[in-house]
């Protein structure tokens, strides 16, 4: 992330702000991420694919929030959350693969649909069915990312 992007995010507190590192809030967000993964599985099995997409995205998003709280940031903006985690990766403050962030944002594996775009399409649109391969890939990758972040946070 370019410095100007971080500066833009930090320029308004309703986007991103520096705080004291907060282990408790970090763990609360990891727990929420795991809760969302369970809900994604449950809804995918029950035929509620559109909600499984949203819950998979939010599982990854809450895991990113967990990273930010542990590193002294609070975010209320999806783009700033993703960008701030990119900044932490580039600054070598966390050992997370940039490919995981790319998946959340641009996910080439999902036929040019990123997790955030899929979530927006199914949350705000009228479609309810999701291609099974795309949904399975999304849930699987969300689980992988949440597990990686949980391990990083426990180091």
Q: Tell me what pLDDT residue 5 has.
A: 85
Cβ pair 49, 67 in contact under 8 A = no
Percent of the chain at pLDDT above 70? 83
What pLDDT does 107 receive?
A: 44
Distance CA(6)–CA(3), nearest Å, equals: 5
Please report which residue ranges of the chain form alpha helices under DSSP H.
Answer: 3-10, 23-45, 49-70, 78-90, 98-105, 115-124, 132-153
Whole-number pLDDT of residue 13: 86
Structure tokens at 149: 């972040």
Residue 145 has pLDDT above 60, yes or no: yes
Please determine, for residue 1, whether its predicted confidence score (pLDDT) is greater than 50: no
- Give per-residue pLDDT as tens, 96-117: 999 999 888 864 334 445 566 6
- Enumerate domains of the chain plus CATH numbers: 3-153 (1.20.120.330)
Q: Coil, helix or strand for 17?
A: strand
| Mean pLDDT value across residues 13-28 | 96
Which pLDDT belongs to residue 22?
97
pLDDT at 31: 98
């Amino acid at each position: 992330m370019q410095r100007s992007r971080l500066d833009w995010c930090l320029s308004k507190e309703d986007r991103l702000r520096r705080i004291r590192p907060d282990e408790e809030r970090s763990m609360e967000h990891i727990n929420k991420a795991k809760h969302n993964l369970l809900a994604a599985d449950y809804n995918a099995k029950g035929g509620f694919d559109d909600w499984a997409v949203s819950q998979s995205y939010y599982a990854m998003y809450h895991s990113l929030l967990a990273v930010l709280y542990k590193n002294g940031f609070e975010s209320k903006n999806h783009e700033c959350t993703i960008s701030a985690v990119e900044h932490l990766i580039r600054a070598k403050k966390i050992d997370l693969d940039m490919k995981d962030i790319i998946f959340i944002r641009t996910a080439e594996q999902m036929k040019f649909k990123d997790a955030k775009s899929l979530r927006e399409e199914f949350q705000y649109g009228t479609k309810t069915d999701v291609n099974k391969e795309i949904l399975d890939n999304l849930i699987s990758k969300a689980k992988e990312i949440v597990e990686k972040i949980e391990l990083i946070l426990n180091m």
